[in-house]
Structure 1
Amino acid sequence: MVSFISAWCLVIISLCYTYVVARLVPNGMRRMILFIPVFLYFFIVPLSLSNIHAVGITAFFISWLANFKLFLFALGRGPLASDTKILPLPIFLAVSCLPVKIHLSPKSYSHGGSSREGLLYYTIMASLLVLMTKVYKYNSKLPNKAVLTLYAIHIYLLLELILAATATMVRAMSGLELEPQFNKPYLATSLQDFWGRRWNLAVTGILRPTVYEPMIQLFSVLGPNWSRVLAVLATFVVSGLMHELIFFYMGGLMPDWKVMWFFLVHGLCTTVEIAVKKKVNGRWRLPTGVSRVLTFGFVMVTGLWLFLPVFNRGNIFERALEEYAYAGALAAELKSIITSLF
């Protein structure tokens, strides 16, 4: 915990430095060069941590999202840039180091439509996550594919809870309206729908301006069709590389590139799907229920085959469960101390 707090204090100091630089230096290469020390520190900061949750959160929030946001900011683009002036420092810090994006329209984005329904939704998810930690005691009696399926559900629940808690904290402190992090990905009717509109929208929102749109411009000489295909593939490649890096931080293992192949397969299949949709042009469409089953099935099958085995290879879930047990024991000890005092 001390290492985590120290690392994040340095992260905040680094972001304050970029804020001052941005006020003094205009957009462009000079600002980019002055940001280089921060980029480098953000890439190595997870290596100073040992707690698997702290490593994962820091790698995702800082090494990936914050670095990409600062890259765009150096060029005067992205969520940290403004047409009129630089964001106020507290909002700048929140948006740069947390997976949140300010939503400028008055539309609300809660899961339930009311705060009570949203609270119920996340309470159910948290309860399921706690229940799953109990089920893991019987891992040795379950088939490997069943265990990996539990891992997939665990990842989704944990990610959505962490990102929702982060957004709630920022919303409460700033009063800002924020865009959602997830949009019920289990209801996706296509891979394009899953990756582009429903799954981990913080990543989608940062990959679009950093990779997809520049690739569209770079390959524009090939025509709109080919430029889009190459841009989609490039986006999945970058996502795959960043996931490989995060798993390196978390597991300490050199990549075997299965995670990269997962994203390459999805990138290729998404481009084929887009091409087929364009060819059919709405003349024929699968029923919604069938589309959802096929999409979810494809994501799960490829995940079990290529993505999820890395958690076994790096003993990531075993380490996470040890941390849950330690946190539970610590909470019980603190409760005992407080009870004895009062």
Structure 2
Amino acid sequence: MEDGEMYNMMKVWLSIFASLTYCYIMGKMIPRGFTRLLCVLPIVCLFLVLPLELTSIHFGGMTAFFVAWLANFKLLLFAFGKGPLCLDPKISFGRFVSVACFPIKILQIPPQKPNLNGHSHENQAQKSLLNGQDRQKLISRKGPHKSFLNYATKGLLLAMLVATYDYSDYIHPKIMWLLYCLHIYFFLETFLAMLASVVRTLSGLELEPQFNDPYLSTSLQDFWGRRWNLMVTSILRPIAYDPILYTCKNFIGRRWAQGIAILGTFLVSALMHELIFYYLGRGKPTWEITWFFLLHGVCLPVEIVLKRAVNGRWQFPRPMQTILTIGFVIATGFWLFFPPFLACKAGVRAIEEYAAVREYLKEAGHAYFPWIFQQI
């Protein structure tokens, strides 16, 4: 990694923190609505420009995802008093910045339930959470708890994948595409889990998991709605799905409006992915990624209609559902998603960055721990 890239990285993130400081102060002074939106829009535009300062796959790609996509959507919702930045009206500055610029979702404590005498009381899960004990009982209700061993295993698999890239000349291109597919999943889940652990340690927040074992999905609805990159799902619902559904249901009915809302949500996701790929490759979009998401945006409502028609009277065995779902995602990914990924040489550049980091760590090891390396 070049020194210039590290300098740009620090400059970009200092700009991000300064911009979010402005947004936090402005949110305390200006009520939600159109005026706050006007104050937020310059920051939204700045966040669209900042990733252009970075050229690396990892730094540039993650910054674009965190800021140009997620942070911008959160700030647009914030302008109207909605979204994760407005769940707590007394949100602290540190929590505001963390939630705004990182892909995290705070685990919400269930509301207090009245007892038979009409008085409120905390259930045992709430007490445990407030006392800092037995928190996993509450987490398990929101999603599966990912153990350290789980993430360590996936981190090891990611390292093994990176090691196989040294022999890419001897591996069939289609097999390499499958390795890239696994790489994307292992990298995202491991990296986002590490980031969440840092935020959890520094802030004391309990966070919801970002992935819910997507390789166990039994349908496209299950994959996109309940298992894959749940932070994106949770932010697309208020920014795209709910407004489209609310607008359309008065004209065409809720059932048809639901399909339009799903397709519109996938279109928004498609355009944001096109933007991310532009940051990665700086090339003219080919729109294959858009077609990938539109295809899934059409297939998912069709799947929902078929489920309603069958109404549980007949279905494939669960293992077959998983095979068909993951097979469809991978097949359409090979067809439409990965060609632009390879066109911008994202895989090759990522391998080069891994090699540079490995060489840097090796040199640092020789410099600071020579007595260890002399024995190797």
TM-score, normalised on structure 1? 0.95
Deviations 1:77-119 (A, max 9, x none): 0000036x24110001000000001111351259875xxx711
Pairwise CA distance, 1:168: 0.8
Provide the rounded CA distance (Å) in 1 between the counterparts of 2:291 and 2:63. 24
Provide the rounded CA distance (Å) in 2 between the counterparts of 1:213 and 1:112. 26
Number of residues of Structure 1 aligned to a counterpart in Structure 2 = 338
Pairwise CA distance, 1:127: 1.1
1:322 is aligned, of 352, 365, 370, to: 352
Backbone CA RMSD of aligned residues: 1.6
2:323 is aligned, of 289, 293, 296, to: 293
Q: 2:309: which partner in 1?
A: 279
Contact 2:107 2:139 in 1 (8 A): no
> Map of 1:1-342 to 2, 5 A cutoff?
1-82=6-87, 85-105=89-109, 107-109=138-140, 113=145, 118-221=147-250, 222-339=252-369
Amino acid corresponding to residue 187 of structure 2 in structure 1: L
Residues 284, 340 of structure 1: CA spacing in aligned structure 2 closer, same or farther, 3 A cutoff? closer
Provide the rounded CA distance (Å) in 1 between the counterparts of 2:277 and 2:230. 20
Pairwise CA distance, 1:141: 2.3
Contact 1:212 1:235 in 2 (8 A): yes
Contact 1:80 1:86 in 2 (8 A): no
Deviations 1:270-305 (A, max 9, x none): 010011112222222221111111001101100111
Pairwise CA distance, 1:340: 5.4
Amino acid corresponding to residue 208 of structure 1 in structure 2: R
Contact 1:192 1:270 in 2 (8 A): yes
Any gaps of 5 or more consecutive residues in structure 1?
none
Pairwise CA distance, 1:137: 2.0
Provide the rounded CA distance (Å) in 2 between the counterparts of 1:181 and 1:48. 27
Deviations 1:40-95 (A, max 9, x none): 01001110012210111001000000000000000000000036x24110001000
Deviations 1:124-163 (A, max 9, x none): 1111111111211222222221111110000000000111
Amino acid corresponding to residue 139 of structure 2 in structure 1: S
Contact 2:144 2:212 in 1 (8 A): no
Residues 286, 341 of structure 1: CA spacing in aligned structure 2 closer, same or farther, 3 A cutoff? closer
Pairwise CA distance, 1:249: 0.2
Identity of aligned residues (%): 44
Provide the rounded CA distance (Å) in 2 between the counterparts of 1:333 and 1:147. 29
Deviations 1:197-234 (A, max 9, x none): 00000100100010000001110121011110100000
Pairwise CA distance, 1:341: 10
Contact 2:78 2:85 in 1 (8 A): yes
Larger Rg: 2
Any gaps of 5 or more consecutive residues in structure 2?
1-5, 110-124, 126-137
TM-score, normalised on structure 2? 0.87
**Secondary structure, aligned partner of 1:102:** coil
Contact 1:184 1:198 in 2 (8 A): yes
Contact 1:236 1:263 in 2 (8 A): yes
Contact 1:23 1:86 in 2 (8 A): no
Contact 2:270 2:294 in 1 (8 A): yes
Provide the rounded CA distance (Å) in 2 between the counterparts of 1:168 and 1:246. 25
Contact 1:111 1:121 in 2 (8 A): no
Provide the rounded CA distance (Å) in 1 between the counterparts of 2:144 and 2:21. 36
**Secondary structure, aligned partner of 1:80:** helix
Amino acid corresponding to residue 321 of structure 1 in structure 2: I
Provide the rounded CA distance (Å) in 2 between the counterparts of 1:125 and 1:197. 20
